[in-house]
Each structure stands twice: as structure tokens, then as C-alpha cells.
Structure 1
């Protein structure tokens, strides 16, 4: 009886978040399942409001879960399979040797430049991500990268990496 009475209202609430009819229908069903589980905690004040809140939170949780799933699928640090067409063992060895030289050169930098350079160029992180990781301001990241580039021009030669 409760489901028949409130199904349209719950559907409207879930649809306002999901923006997809099929998903809103699924969320409506999930809301009523959660309602049955939560009935013992209902305190007899504004049933429609209480049910709306369950529907809204169910829809928001679903949205967050879907968003997190998309982020997880797109946030690999390195590709799982690296297949390079026409790459010989010699070319691969030279490439790995060059990468190792670059890593060693970065290790030889002053500490405050090293962390920022490694995260920006090797891990390909944004200024904001670096600032968050190092617990510093974005402007500080920008300034350290600027100074690190200046330091690299003064201390490194291109021949060091070939």
C-alpha cells in the first residue's frame, strides 16, 4: 500500500538526481527496499519527507559510486600492456637506459626541486595534485618548477642524456 501511494513521488526524487529513467526506476525499487529495512527507526514524523530523504540519499550514493567507478577505470598509472610496433630489443634497451639516466639526473637535483620535477614530469601530475601531495600552495609548485627548469639549464647538458 505504501509503495503504491509513494512510488511516483520517489521516482521523481530519484530521477532528479539520476536523469535516466531506467536508473531512476532501479533506484526507486532500491529506495523501497531500504525503507522496509529502516522502518524500525522511523519516528512517526513526516513519512513522505523521511522517504524522500532515503530516495535522495540512495540516488546520490549511486551517482557517487558510478562516478568513482569511471575514475577508477581511467586512472591507471601505467598501461597494463605496452605493445610497441616495430620496436627492437636494442631500441627498447636504449630507451630504458635513457629513462634510467633521467631518473639518476633527477635524483641529483636539490630535494625541493626533485620532488616537484618527479611528480610533474615522471608521474605527470597537475600543479594541484602536486600541491596536495606535498602539502604546499600551487604557487609554490609553480615557482619550484620554474626554478628547477632554470637549475636544469645551468647544470645539465643535452649530451648527458644521449
Structure 2
């Protein structure tokens, strides 16, 4: 491990060859797609390499497993979000060509969407500042837990905790009527 930390690439390649199959299996168990699992395995080792200075010297395999699992979950979440967006785009195209949709209805829906978006942005200002920043980075900028942790100088667990607490805060403080 010391050799890797001082930049010995051969030592890191040795670490990769030792854990490559295991990391791939962890990721494949989440994604269930060989090509995606292979890509995310590569990304995981890049993340591991750049995160080694933060490694605390305990449970290397568990630490790498956590990174691999998070990478796979983040990938799956992004893929789902993209599918939702493409479905939304297809629905938008279909509605554009639909004979039955009146132009005034489209304008009205657009205005309603715009008003709701403005309301959400306004309501976001009510969130406690440390939650707001984490929520913005995660939901609006599609940053991963790891990216947010590095950017904010906090642990991944803190990111998870802030997102959880922000959701709890929203449930407790926002009412559905506020959005009607």
C-alpha cells in the first residue's frame, strides 16, 4: 500500500489484478449488465486510485467494495434518470404531433410547470443552508455522493446523512397544498 501511495504504478496494477474480478462481481451484482459492469469497474479503479490519499488504512477490501457499490448505484440511478428523460422527451414529441391537444392547453401546462419550478426554487431557500447545497448538487447538478463529498470536503456518509435529513425536513415543513 505504501508503494501505491508514493506513486508506484506497478503496485497499483498489482492491486487491480488482485481485486479486478471481485470488484467486477460486486458491480455486476448491482447492474446485471456485463458491458456496463466492465465500464464501471474501470471507473471504480480510477476513483480508488485518486481516493487512496483518503484511505485510512483499515479494511481495504471493504473500502473498495463500498466505492464499487456506490459507483454502480450512481450509474444505475443516472441510467434510470436518462430513461425517464427520454420517455419525457418522447411524450413531448408525441404530444406535439397530437391533433387533439389544443395550443392553449400546451401554453397553460408550460406556465404551470414554470410556476411550479419557480415555487420549488423559492421553497429551496427555506431549506437549512448545509442541506440546500447538498440537495442542489445532488438533484440539480447530478453529482454523485463521492463528488459532493470531495467538493464540500466532507465524508460520503455526511452527504448521505444530509440528503436524508433534507428529505425529512421537507416532509415535515412543506405541505402538498403549497404546490397547488
**TM-score scaled by structure 1?**
0.51
RMSD between aligned residues:
3.4
The structure 2 residue matched to 1:48, chosen from 51, 55, 61, is 61
Structure 1 residue 82: Cα displacement? 3.6
1:141-162 deviation line (CA, Å, top 9, x unaligned): xxxxxxxxxxxxxxxxxxxxxx
Change (3 A) 1:80 1:47: same
- Give aligned pairs, total: 99
- Matched ranges for 1:115-154 at <5 A: 135=176
Q: Distance in 1 between matches of 2:83 and 2:92?
A: 17
Can you give the 5+ residue segments of structure 2 that lack an aligned partner in the other structure?
Answer: 1-13, 113-170
More helix per residue: 2
The structure 2 residue matched to 1:67, chosen from 73, 76, 80, is 80
Runs of 4 or more consecutive aligned structure 1 residues displaced over 6 Å after TM superposition: none
Q: Distance in 2 between matches of 1:57 and 1:83?
A: 41
Which residue pairs with 1:28 in the alignment? 41
Q: Which has the larger radius of gyration?
A: 1
1:3-24 deviation line (CA, Å, top 9, x unaligned): 0110011001000011011111
